[in-house]
Structure formats: C-alpha cells, structure tokens
Amino acid sequence: MPKKSKLNELNQTHGKVENPITLDQIWGDSGINKYGTLDANEYDKYVNELNRSDLQTHAVKVGLVPIDDRKTLLSRLKKEFNRHISTYKAKSLDKKETKLSKKSQDALSEGR
C-alpha cells in the first residue's frame, strides 16, 4: 500500500510565467549581443561618438532603415534601444491595496 502524502507537504505548480520573456531569453540571451550593453548612458555615449557613416551602418545592424538626418536617426536608435532593454528588465507588478468604503464592501460581499 503506497504511503499517503500529507497535504502540507505537497507542492503545486501553476505554470504561469511571472515575468513575460522572449524565446531568446529562454535560450540564454541576456540582451547584450545586439547593442553591446544594456546601459542607456553607455549606449548614448557610443552612438553620439559615431560619425554619420558608422551611425548608418549601426542602424542597419540593429534593423533600422538609415536616414541622412543625424538627429532623427539618433532619436530612432535610442527609442529602439529603450524598447530592446525593456524586454530584458523585470517587470514589477505592484499591487496596490485600495481602501473601500463600508458601502462598497457590503455591496461586494452580498453574494457570499
């Protein structure tokens, strides 16, 4: 006769991913490969030091269409970089506990 487990000793898994991730992250990608960094200040410094030709080459490398206007291209690169790093940062789900009035609590508890 098999030994019965006590209820408090059992573990249950819900299968829900707490922080949504990409397939690249599952395979071990840390996000550094595409831009060389995940630090926004370091990336800003890097792209600001590039000449126009290198900046356009970098844009093609990260998947953007290069344009002649340097200011617009820098803006697009920084926006794309911020989008990239946001997928690698843990998202915090802060649940705020709200105070309900007595009338609201009574209305919500009517079906119990």
pTM for the full model?
0.58
Per-residue model confidence as pLDDT tens digits over 5-46? 676 776 666 666 556 566 766 677 777 878 888 889 999 999
Give the mean pLDDT of 51-63. 93
Q: Determine the pLDDT at residue 45.
A: 94
What's the distance, CA 38 to chain centroid? 12
Specify the pLDDT at position 37.
87
The 3-state DSSP composition of the chain as helix, strand, coil percent (nearest 5) reads: 50, 0, 50
Nearest to 51 by CA among 59, 42, 39, 41: 59
pLDDT, the chain, mean: 80
Q: Quick one: pLDDT at residue 70?
A: 92
**What are the domain boundaries of the chain?**
31-88
Per-residue CA distances from 27 to 30, 66, 81 (Å): 9, 30, 21
